[in-house]
Copies of this chain bind each other. A is one copy, B any other.
Amino acid sequence: MANLDAAFSALADPTRRAILARLALGEATVMELAEPFEMTQPAISRHLKVLEGAGLILRRVEGTKRPCRLAPAAVAEIDQWLAMLRQTLAANYNRLDDVLAEMKTQEKAIP
Contact surface of A with B, Cβ cutoff 8 Å: 4-5, 8-9, 11-14, 17, 20-21, 24-27, 58, 60-62, 67, 69-70, 72, 75-76, 78-79, 81-82, 84-86, 88-89, 92-93, 95, 97-98, 101, 104-105, 108-110
Interface CB pairs A-B, < 8 A, 9: A12-B12, A24-B84, A60-B104, A62-B104, A69-B101, A70-B85, A75-B86, A79-B82, A82-B82
Chain A's interface: helix, strand, loop or mixed, by majority?
helix
Contact A86 B79 (CB under 8 A): yes
Question: Separation in Å of the A11 CB from the closest CB of chain B?
Answer: 4
A4-B14, A11-B12 given. 5 additional CB < 8 A pairs? A8-B8, A24-B84, A60-B104, A60-B105, A62-B104
